Chain A
């Protein structure tokens, strides 16, 4: 399977703990995106990388959130000091640079903060 993969698929954590999610994009893709999706809503943009450079961050991404993409391959999204409001589905997507920019999504990581 050469699609976008995410790990873990589910994560339950206690408030105040740190969590880290991983995304492996489609290998030829040089752009990687992180989104958050809550129940009944569409995905909300968090941040994106072009190769290893983080080019844009949403104001939704508080200073408790950090994302990396070392060597322009896989990416990690870390949430420090989790809060109950962080409970959501975290989606990763990848795409090529150059039009028409369609993104390919992974299955998501569902985070539950208790």
Chain B
């Protein structure tokens, strides 16, 4: 079945460092891919999405490119801020269900 494998955390970075969180997927069809973010004490928020191969999703300085050849959707940000501290979830959708990774906790220190 469909699944998502996400880089394990926790990840601790200094402010302004470069961020990469790896995500790979297994799917039988052509899923849409998403990154969600969960701030402490809050629900999941959609961060960005990509619906087909080679699409790049971007939002708030974060980017991820849908790579069909490597079945990956890695999240990147060039310069993280303390306010980016949260748990990040990679997810895929086959139009009926969502499959989430286990989440990667990011802490950014000043």
Q: Which chain A residues have a beta carbon within 8 Å of chain B's beta carbons?
A: 4, 33, 40-45, 48, 55-56, 91, 93, 99-108
Contacts and interface: CB of A to CB of B under 8 A. Distances in A.
A42 B103 contact: yes
A16 to B, nearest CB: 29
B96 A48 contact: yes
B51 A107 contact: no
A101 B46 contact: no
B62 interface: no
A41 B43 contact: no
A99 B103 contact: no
B90 to A, nearest CB: 9
B49 A100 contact: yes
Nearest to A41: B102
A105 B103 contact: no
A112 B47 CA distance: 29
Interface centre among B43, B46, B91, B102 (most CB of A within 10 A): B43
Contacts of B91: 42
A106 B32 CA distance: 21
Contact of A105 (B6, B44, B49, B102): B44
B42 A107 contact: yes
B89 A42 contact: yes
A99 B45 contact: no
Given A40-B103, A41-B102, A105 B45 contact: yes
Given A42-B101, A107-B43, A108-B43, 13 more contacts: A40-B103, A41-B102, A42-B89, A42-B102, A44-B100, A45-B98, A55-B96, A93-B44, A100-B93, A101-B95, A103-B46, A103-B98, A104-B46
